[in-house]
Chains A and B, each alone.
Chain A
């Protein structure tokens, strides 16, 4: 039988229907399709896909088990390297990672590694496989993790398996970081996936202290000197929203994407008034930015009842930083892409509400430091978009709370923590850092990779201490 050159399609909700609900868009493979897709894998002796995975899952290893229908075996192989596969299978940009290196991608489409990982993980979650709690040694050392996002969770899982008593300190009332407050339900189901994967970590013996803002409730020094922690891993992410600093940004109806998505995802404003947190979405919404956060905010607005949603982005389609799949999803749902446009002012009515977004047209000039062609304003090309909601999704910086109360730990000029790329070690002995707080806003799987590396380094440090 000739090898199929394209991926097996994954069923998804119809675009017209899903644009009005919060249910998951991509529905996942069934058993038969999963086996058929697994059989496209050539089981390369020198698998390049593994090099593309930030946590280096034994990809041919788990796929070969799926070929024979041994799904329990497959998830066992995945779990050796990845504690949160149902999440990574959904949100990783596989086109830039594992799947980018698949040899089938040279002449056709690569093996759908992400979809297969997701299938194996979902099947295991649905089966509610028993998680065996770890039996701790009487003299087990305590490790504190600050932040329960992907980096913190992955480090916690690794350290618990090594026999350390792990406590995660989380500022919010729910765990998951961006998985809970940022990525919407229709891309990453909270109860079915995020909560179950975090519960499994808790069953291992990882403790999570909610409502605990480090820098306020305890400093890093207090954790080590008074609370008995032998090492600390800082994984506080990139949670500080950037604004554009243009006129009208304080008008009612202007949100940071962080606020908009937190209200919707974490506080469940989409179920208002059953849930009490309100969220105001007008008829016409402009989302500023072209990353995944912008796509999430735009698609969320549509589901909250907006009639017309614009993405306003200063570069062209080719430079959009969002995942290709999400751009396709957004377009299919009817999001209107206003490319090569930059906002210059937000105009309001007499009551202080947003009425218009004033933009200027852009064209691409010479490449800048990032290698992308620099957008340049076209003189005299200003125009107004009639909108009543503006969501600013132009990036996030590091929250300074932990750094500002840990003066002997080095940070760079952007406020990120300086940490060794391989070990996560900071300039302060016993203190490690990883994920977005070190790299700036990046991906879930890179943060998880950093958590995993730091866990190994913390183990090494504590053994030699």
Chain B
């Protein structure tokens, strides 16, 4: 179980893994996530399910190497197995017929988890306008896949190397300004991006759903490490989310809590880095 069927480099340091997981593939829905433990010493790492194939019995994850945990994962090769994969976790995205026009926004590797949501919205007969944002053309991922499930795709790059120059909010504002009636926005990406999207839709009262990525341990509701403030309530992102009404999210609190282990992450990174070096020498 958990054998890596396909490993692909999507852009520098961004990996796609297709994992053999028939039990999970049978149940997974857009918006849900999984938790991975790479080896006995490893952390439990939450990652959004980027895709699932019920016939083939596989699920796909897309992740960026940003620390020790993701580096260790990236070292696994096709044919090797991941020690632990727990899923499907969290609530599924609310998708139904006749929702009208839905704008699906993916920033950076957030395009990967927005893809099954856009597909689900499209299959349910809704009009899907997708916005994909990246720093530059070279690191844009899954463009063809997004075009296949969208009625319209807008691409933004920070440096203008492809598509509209600017941020995802630049494209969103264009859609709003041209008078398009938007019934719902779903945004996944870095916290600052999701916060900008929420601020862009707030004046127009457009329902905006965001997928939060706080620090997690078990992912089943037993520890509250992933708690976030939604309006006046404390919610556990792993069981009550990860998707929430963006207009109620306390983004400042989320950002602060995400920084909790910054100094420890450095120590861990150095430790894993040294271990890797030792392995290479041997």
Interface window among B55-63, B110-118, B215-223 = B215-223
Scan B17-59; emit 1 where CB is below 8 A from any A CB, else 0. 0000001100100000000010001111000000000000000
Q: Is A223 an interface residue (CB 8 A)?
A: no
B267 within 8 A of A: yes
CB-CB contacts of A220-258 with B at 8 A, as 1s and 0s? 000000000000000000011101010001101101101
Alpha-carbon distance between A253 and B87 when the two chains are bound, in angstroms: 28
> Counting CB contacts under 8 A, is A406 at the interface?
no
Q: Which of A23-31, A122-130, A155-163, A274-282 has 4 or more CB atoms under 8 Å from chain B?
A: A274-282
Is A297's CB within 8 Å of the partner chain B? Answer: no
- Residues in B neighbouring A280, C-beta threshold 8 A: 260-261, 264
Complex Cα distance A171/B44, Å? 13
The 6 closest A-B pairs by CB, nearest first: A259-B223, A278-B264, A352-B256, A273-B271, A239-B222, A211-B86
Would you call B4 an interface residue if the criterion is a C-beta within 8 Å of the partner chain's C-beta atoms?
A: no
Bound CA span A245–B233, Å: 9
Is A243 touching B88 in the complex (CB atoms < 8 A)?
A: no
Interface residues on B, range: 35 or more
Q: How far is the CA of A272 from the CA of B83 in the complex (A)?
A: 20
Check A272 against B260 for contact (C-beta < 8 Å): no
Q: Is the CB of A276 within 8 A of B85?
A: no
Judged by a CB distance under 8 angstroms, whether B190 is at the interface is no
Cross-chain contact A262 with B229 (CB below 8 angstroms): no
Decide: B41 and A274 in contact? CB cutoff 8 A: yes
A172 at interface, CB cutoff 8 A:
yes
CB distance A171 to B43 under 8 Å? no
Interface majority SS (helix, strand, loop, mixed), chain B: mixed
Across the interface, name the chain A residue whose C-beta is closest to B227: A250
With contact pairs A211-B86, A217-B24, A252-B257 given, residues A267 and B223 touching in the complex (Cβ less than 8 Å): no
Point out the residues of chain B lying under 8 angstroms from A65, CB to CB. Answer: none
A-B contact pairs, 14 of them (CB 8 A): A171-B220, A216-B89, A217-B88, A252-B259, A258-B222, A259-B224, A272-B264, A274-B271, A275-B41, A276-B41, A352-B256, A399-B220, A399-B221, A401-B220
Interface size on A, residues (CB 8 A): 39
A329 within 8 A of B: no
For residue A20, CB closer than 8 A to chain B, the reply is no
Output the least CB separation between A176 and chain B (Å).
14
**Smallest Cβ-Cβ distance to A241: which chain B residue:** B224
B69 in the interface (beta carbon within 8 A): yes
A187 within 8 A of B: no
A173 at interface by CB-CB < 8 Å:
yes
Chain A positions near chain B (C-beta within 8 angstroms): 171-173, 210-213, 216-217, 239-241, 243, 245, 249-250, 252-253, 255-256, 258-259, 262-263, 267-268, 272-278, 280, 351-352, 399-401
Shortest distance in angstroms between A175's beta carbon and chain B's nearest beta carbon? Answer: 13
The distance in angstroms between the C-alpha atoms of A274 and B40, with both chains bound, is 10
Question: Would you call B68 an interface residue if the criterion is a C-beta within 8 Å of the partner chain's C-beta atoms?
Answer: yes
Q: Which residues of A contact B95 (CB under 8 A)?
A: none
Determine if A172 and B218 form an interchain contact, defined as CB atoms under 8 angstroms apart.
yes
**Could you count the A-B residue pairs with CB atoms below 8 Å apart for me: how many are there?**
115
A275 to B42 CA separation, bound complex (whole angstroms): 6
In the complex, which residues of chain B have a beta carbon less than 8 angstroms from the beta carbon of A210? 84
Give A147 Cβ to nearest chain B Cβ, in Å: 11
Once bound together, how far apart are the Cα atoms of A364 and B183, in whole Å? 56
Chain A residues with Cβ below 8 Å from B43 are 267, 276-277
Beta-carbon contact of B224 and A217 below 8 Å: no
Question: Whose C-beta in chain A lies nearest to the C-beta of B265?
Answer: A278
B residues in contact with A276, CB < 8 Å: 41-43, 68-69, 72, 268, 271-272
Contact B217 A267 (CB under 8 A): yes
Contact A278 B86 (CB under 8 A): no
Interface check B248, CB cutoff 8 A: no
* Cβ contacts under 8 Å, B225 to chain A: 255-256, 259
Residue of B83, B222, B253, B259 with most chain A CB atoms under a 10 A cut-off: B222
- A317 CB, min distance to chain B CBs, angstroms: 29
Once the chains bind, are A401 and B253 in contact (CB under 8 Å)?
A: no
Residues from chain B with Cβ under 8 Å of A259 in the complex: 217, 223-225
CB distance from B218 to the nearest CB of A (A): 6
- Whether B239 contacts A401 by the Cβ 8 Å rule is yes
Which one of B83, B259, B267 contacts A273 once the chains associate, using CB atoms below 8 Å?
B267
- Is B76 part of the contact surface with A, judged by Cβ < 8 Å? no
Q: Find B229's partner among A213, A250, A399 (CB 8 Å cutoff).
A: A250
Residue numbers in A under 8 Å from B270 (CB-CB): 273
Which of A213, A250, A256, A399 lies in contact with B86, CB distance below 8 A?
A213
Q: Which residues in A have their C-beta under 8 angstroms from that of B261?
A: 278, 280
Nearest chain B CB to A78 CB, angstrom units = 31
Q: How far is the CB of B270 from chain A (nearest CB, A)?
A: 8
A-contacting residues, B192-223, CB 8 Å: 217-218, 220-223
A273 near B84 with CB under 8 A, answer no
A277 & B24 in contact (Cβ 8 Å cutoff): no
Count chain A CB atoms within 10 A of each CB in B68, B84, B221, B257 and give the residue with the most.
Answer: B221
B243-282 with Cβ < 8 A to chain A? 250, 253, 256-257, 259-261, 264-265, 267-268, 270-272
* Contact A211/B44 with A241-B223, A243-B224, A256-B224 known, Cβ cut-off 8 Å: no
- The distance from the CB of A149 to the nearest CB of chain B, in whole angstroms, is 12
Residue B234 at the A interface, CB < 8 A? Answer: yes
Q: Judge whether B222 and A217 touch: CB under 8 Å.
A: no
Complex interface: chain A residues within 8 A of B69 (CB): 276
Contact indicator B86/A262 (Cβ below 8 Å): no
Query: Bound complex: CA of A259 vs CA of B224, how far in Å?
Result: 7
Which residue of chain A has the shortest Cβ distance to B69 in the bound complex? Answer: A276
Given contacts A213-B220, A277-B43, A278-B264, are A250 and B257 in contact (CB under 8 A)?
Answer: yes
Are B89 and A258 in contact (CB-based, < 8 A)? no
Expressed in whole angstroms, the Cα–Cα distance for A252 and B263 within the complex equals 13
A252 and B260 contact, CB distance less than 8 A: yes
CB distance from B85 to the nearest CB of A (A): 6
C-alpha gap A262/B85 in the complex (Å): 18
* New A-B pairs, 16, CB < 8 Å, besides A216-B88, A217-B23, A351-B256: A211-B84, A216-B89, A241-B222, A252-B260, A258-B222, A259-B224, A276-B41, A276-B42, A276-B68, A276-B268, A276-B271, A280-B260, A280-B261, A352-B256, A399-B220, A399-B222
- Residues in chain A near residue B222, CB distance under 8 A: 239-241, 258, 262, 399
User: Which residues of the partner chain A approach B84 to less than 8 Å between Cβ atoms?
Assistant: 173, 210-211
CA distance A275 to B234 in the complex (A): 30
Least CB separation from B220: chain A residue? A171
Which A residues lie within 8 Å of B220 (CB)?
171-172, 213, 239, 399, 401
Contact status A211-B85, CB under 8 Å: yes
A300 to B187, CA, bound (A): 41
